[in-house]
Structure formats: structure tokens, C-alpha cells
Chain A
Amino acid sequence: MARRMRTNRRQFLEQVAAWSAGVAASAPVFRIAHAEEDAADTARSLIAVAKGKDYEGLVAKVLEPLGGIGKFVKKGDKVIVKPNMAWDRRPEQAANTHPDVVKALVKLVLDAGAKEVQVVDRTCADRRRSYRNSGIPKAIESIGDKRVTCPYFDERKVVPVKIEKGKVIQEWELYRDAVEADCYINVPIAKNHAIARLTLGLKNIMGVMGGDRGKIHRQLAESLADLNSVIVSKFTLIDATRILLRRGPQGGNLDDVKVLDTLIASTDMVAADAYATTLFDLKPEEIRSTVAGYEMGLGEINLDKVKIVNV
């Protein structure tokens, strides 16, 4: 199975002339501006919620109110699908995104004409064990399409990115393919987390961070908002098919898992997180990263101002 990365550097080189000169001293820096563009998007205030046992079918269903996958993925796009597969845990232990959800999403992305799809996460436990035990690479392989790969995170392939709106982080090394992607799709699982209380859409960005990412735990919420201002998810699909109520983010105890058979999708990550928070009987304002995201202008925290469509 080819899980190594195939990287096309052409685009990247066009953007940063200094890079090809091979000058390590003048580190290339990205400036990304599409946060503002997306702010005007009218679909922002919409959350789609779908319930059902057939997780594969559920993915297409939950995306319908948002306008379907075709609205986000164009023919020839390079797409990053970012699930959570950071822990050496099985799907039923609710520490990683469900493989059926990722598989269904990738299938849709491929059908929409994507040129390259990469499913990737920087793991916390051993990357080989985490990838295998998550069941995601196997599910992706079963699609049998060469356009999709499930490479390990390559710590060399990061670029420093300037975070202009950053409140606590002004620059960080991020996974280059995620920075360059035409379409970045965020597929977190909703689960408990010891510091953040919950880990949802905003926190999933940590899987494309290079460097010593543990350091941001000191001001986690603000850091997460900062990072999400530069890598903007086209949409966030929160996997709440089963959620981890306690002892997150790693879990491992099936008593801590609650099956909800629910998917939540929105182009507004903050709103999606806010809605997912209610599944844990918590208020959106109790999650610091959601508040920080709202304050950053990444989305709406007040669910009364959001249109919720149940499908």
C-alpha cells in the first residue's frame, strides 16, 4: 500500500520564488486571505444534522442542505480530508473519526471530480498503530481509487505560515499540502478532552501542525482560533455517530462511549462546534475554543441565530 506522499511542488514554487533559490535563511511565509471571502458566504449560518444507522448514506444526506459536495469540491481540485486518527484505538472506542464516515466523504469528493485527495493526520500515539487501528486507511483502500492516498504526516513537509489575525500565535509551521489545498475538509469526532473539555472542529486543526505543537496547550483556545483563521475548512463534518463522554481524548473504555448516530455539517465551524456541544449537555459558551473562535469572527456561537436543518 502506498502511503508515502506524492507531492507536486509546482504550485508552491510559483507562489514563493525565494524557495527555489534554495535560501534557507529567508524562510518563505504564506499569507492567506480567504477567511474574509468566506465570511460573506450566506450558507454560514446553516447547520445540517442527520441521524441514522447507515453512516455512509448519512454523509451525503447531511451535506444536502449545504448544497451538496459539488458546492465545495470542483473538478481537478486537490483536497485534504482531515479526520481524527491520532490514537491507537478502534472505531467503537470513539477516539478517532469513524472510518465509514471518512470513506463516504472521500467517495463523494472523488465523485465530484477531485484530482487528488489526501487523508492525513499527525498522530499522538505511534502513527503506524494509530492509522491501522483507526480503520481509516483500510476503508480508504477499499474504495480502490488511486487519486486518494492516506499518507503519514511527514514532519519535513511543513511551511511557516504567518497568522496575521493571531492573538497568541503569530506564525507556525503547518502541513504544506493542507496550506496549498484547493479544498480542506474538517472531519473531527466529537469527544471529551481533559483541557479543552471537548475536542470538536476547531481543535482538529492540531493534526496539520508541525513543530512542537504540545506547547499551545497553555493558551489552547486562543491558539486554536488563531490557527483556524489561516487554514480554513470549506466545511466541517462532525462525527457524532458515537461520542466519548469521559477520559478523552484517548478513551479506550467502552463505558465512556455513547452512540448517537448523528452527523453535523456546516460551513460555520463555530456553529457546528456549538451545536455538537449540546450533545454533551453543555452550553456552547462553556467551551473556550468555541468562544475564542466566535471572538475571532470564525462563526456564530449563538444557536438561536443559526438555522438548524434536521434531515
Chain B
Amino acid sequence: MRPPRLGWRFWRRFSQVVFLLAFLWLFRETELRDEDVPGYVNIAFRLDPLVAASAMLAAKALIAGLLLCLITVGVTLLFGRAFCGWVCPAGTLLDLVGKVMRIRSRRCNRTFNSLKPVRYWLLIAVLLGAAFGFPLVGYLDPFSILNQGLTLAVDPALSWSSFVLFDWLYQNGSEGVTNISEPIYAFLGEHVLAFERASYTGAWLMAGIVAAILLLERVQRRFWCRYLCPLGAMLGFIARLTPFGRRPAKACAGCLTCEHTCRMDAFDESHRLQPQACTVCMDCVTDCPNQIAQFLWFLPRKGRPPARAAQPVPMELSRRAFLGACAVGVGLPAVSTAGRAAGVIPSNVRLLRPPGALEGDEFLDLCVRCGECLKVCLTNGLQPVMLQAGPNGLFSPQLVPRTGYCEYNCLQCIEVCPTGAIRPLDLAAKQKFVIGEAVFDEDLCLPFAEREECIVCEEHCPIPTKAIRLKEVEVETADGQTRVIQEPFVDLDLCNGCGICENKCPLDGAPGIYVRPVAEEPSI
């Protein structure tokens, strides 16, 4: 292939920036504004073959919505790991961070050569773990990490810091200042900032994880992609089949510029470029001192032997490492099951899950921790679980009613879930889906504890025929008088556990009514 005008590097960077902006734009679209949340906001996860493979292995079923990832597989079959070099927003961010930090690493490109198989171990552990009930994809998929990082940490930090700044200017600035600052804030609010300022459990932990991955760039270029990324490993495995490759396949003896500058350290011991590592960034084509390197398809032609068949691509994975990774993939679920049986790891923890969520472990198996439901929840009520549900429940969503409730007419978390961990209920079914059940704390609730009238929970109960109703009761006041007040009660046949009662309860601190998980299987 001949270089296009402006050169390969320009177009690769252009593509990276476009896809990064697209990712950020999709993120921004993942909330209700003037228009409904579009159905395509979760497309990054549906294009991700690692998410698809993990979810389908866990579900032991075909998930139609995830078949979109065949596009990525197809692109990889045609162009190798170009996805990693030209598309992946995490890769782009790493490149950007590397640029900003101006790394002039004197470290040899090969220092961490022994880490190369790690990504395959992780890939195997992810896939086997998914099949045997301990999915790791949510903790290792680059899209999951990136999207959760944006949702839990970056976006709230941006919203709150802008709010503090612009509100301070608004409260204290002169008219001249606010005439400038307020339009800026309005513009940011319209185009950059989240609609509502949210905050999340685990934000600092997630910020730390993302920061750590970005800072690894200081150690070596594309450290994450070279050694750790299981999605990259998966695409690399597919890339071994592509007829697309570089000519000359080997770095020229006596020069080796391409080998020494390769961001992926994609050349093996015999100086041959490895398609399972190469992200087709084209730097070696652009920077070739002799301008002889180029990428092209090795199509079988008469009189020429098929190039790949003659040169089988070796895996960078020893048999021992492969077996070890398999052992981890199978062992983790086994250890987890044993731990649960022994009571060391929490088991059968019932939490308030999003409406339509699958039951217990089934939900955790399919939840890829993409963070989409946390992001889209209208009320900020969906929050990441930390370790309450055991190690495989980390960062899965739960409803925390005191923070935010499940809006009666809203279907958004259902609509953005890429894997079906939250089942695609329609509005009528969602409104009947039981998240939990509301119970009064009669030691706190005003009509019970203080014999004072308060109907806020009844007022807000969205069930058309009211799951919280009032009955008149005669009460004795402290001074011995009797009077009639309205006392609320919950009709559990109607209550869906949306949590608005707990959310709106006017008591400071602990609420007078709260939602608890139901003991038995909820029905749809």
C-alpha cells in the first residue's frame, strides 16, 4: 500500500482522535437531556469481542446484540491489530499521556520481554473464568475500565470542580465577571459537563486504577497494550490469521531502526514483525530510513507460495504458561465457590439491583461492569458495589435509595445494558418488577415515633393506586389529649421497591422508611 497524502502518521492520529472523541461523545450522550438517550450509546461494548465472548460463555447462549463485535473481528482479519493502533480510545489516551509526559525512555525496548505472555494468561483467565462462574472481563476490558473511570471519577470531578468555581464566581463576582462566567458555565453545561452532578462509591479506587494504567506509560510505551490487555491479546490471536503484513517482514540487519522504535516491541528474537503484537501504527513505514517498508496483503498468487502457510506465526506462550493460565481460569471460580461454602466469602448476598436484573450470580456473570447503567441512571441512585457481594461483585450496580431512587417511568438502565444482565423489560413490566420492599422504621418515622403527621412518602409513591397509603388513627399526645392523625402503611402487593419513599423521607440521617431486598425470588 502506498502512503496516502499527508502520510500514514497523520491519518492514524486523525483516526485515533476521531474515535476517542466519538467515545467521549457517546459517553456524554449517555444521559437524559432534551432528547431520549439514543440506543447506540453502548456500541463500544457491543463492538468488543472480549465482552461478547465472555458474556456468551457465561450465559452459555448466543446474545444477538453482541454479534456486532464480528465487525471488529472482521477488521482484525483484514488488517491485523489495527483496532489497537487506530481505534481503541484507551490506546489513544495512552499515546497522548506518553506525549504529554515526554517520555524519553532510555530503557531498552526489551526490558520487560518476559511480561509478554501475561496478556494471554489474562485472556485465558477471563474466558475460562466466564465459563466457570467467575468473570473477570469487567476488571480487565479496556472499555470497561475506561468507561467506569469516566463515569465514577473523571465526570464527577469535572462537574463538581466547575460547579465550585462558577458558583463561587456567581456568588461573589461583580456583574462584569458573571456576565462572562455564566455564559461559559452555560456552554459547558450544555456541551461538556454532566446534566446533574453525580457522585459514586469507589470513585477514588477507580481513579487510582485508571491513573495507574496511564502512568505505566512512563515505564514503557503502550505498557498496558503490550503486556496486559486481554482484548489486545484476543485480537492478536485473530491477527495471526491475517494475510496483511509488512514487507520486509524482518527488520533489516544493520539498521533495526523500526525494531528499536516500535511502540509495541512487536519484533521477535529473529527481528521478524509479529502480527499478534503489531498494531499497524505505520511508524516503521514512515520512519524507515531507506523507505522500503510497506504493508500489504499477501494474497495467494500463481507461482508464489502462500506467505503465511510457509511461515506459521508462533505464539508467545509456552505450554507451561498456557496450562498455568488455564489453571487460574478454572481455579478462581473453584476457590470462590469453596470460599463461599466455607463462609469466608459472602454468598447469596441479596442487594437492590437495577430493575430487571437477573438473579444473583447470573447477574454477576453477565454484568461486564461497563458502567453504562451507573452513568445513565437519572437519580444517581445506581452505585457500584464494593466487596459486599464478594470479590466477583466488585463494581456491579446496586440501587442506593438514600442517594437516588428508581424513576417509575424510566427504562434507561435497561436500554443501555449491552449484555442483557438487566433484562429488556418493557415499561409495564419494569414498573411491576420488584427491586425490593419498603418497610417503615417505626422508631424513626414521624407518625409512629413522634405521633406527628407526615405524608411525604405517600405523596411521592409513584404507583398509580399507591403502594404507600394512609389510614386515620387516633393517637394520644404527650399532654394526654387524643387526636386523629394519618398513619402511612405499605401495601407489599403493590410496592416495587423503587426507593423514592426512602429517598424523599424528610428525616435527617437515617430514614423512617427504607427498602430492603426481598427474601424470595422476585417475579416479573
Task: List residues of chain A with CB under 8 Å of any chain B CB.
Answer: 1, 3-5, 7, 9-10, 13, 20, 22, 24, 88, 124-126, 128-129, 133, 156, 193-195, 214-215, 217-218, 247, 249-253
Contact = CB atoms under 8 A, between A and B. Distances in A.
Given A194-B458, A250-B460, 12 more contacts: A22-B173, A24-B171, A88-B408, A125-B462, A126-B407, A129-B32, A129-B407, A194-B455, A194-B486, A217-B506, A218-B452, A249-B459
B175 A214 contact: no
Nearest to A132: B34
A167 B175 CA distance: 35
B195 interface: yes
B409 A129 contact: yes
6 contacts: A1-B34, A124-B460, A195-B453, A195-B459, A214-B504, A217-B455
Contacts of A252: 462-464
Overall SS of chain A's interface: loop
Interface in B32-71: 32-34
Of B33, B175, B454, B458, most buried by chain A (CB within 10 Å of CB) is B175
B470 A4 contact: no
Q: Is the interface of B mostly helix, strand, loop or mixed?
A: loop
B378 A13 contact: no
Interface residues of B, number: 40
A215 B506 contact: yes
B466 interface: yes
Nearest to B508: A212
Contacts of B167: 156
B34 A9 contact: no
Nearest to A256: B464
Given A88-B407, A195-B455, A9 B175 contact: yes
A194 B469 CA distance: 10
Interface in B1-49: 32-34
Contacts of A4: 186, 189-190
B456 interface: yes
Contact of B454 (A22, A129, A217, A251): A217
Given A4-B190, A252-B462, A133 B409 contact: yes
B459 A194 contact: yes
Contacts of A129: 32, 378, 407, 409-410
A218 B466 CA distance: 22
A20 B174 contact: yes
A128 B379 CA distance: 11
A76 to B, nearest CB: 21
A206 to B, nearest CB: 12
A253 B464 contact: yes
Contacts of B200: none
A13 B175 CA distance: 8
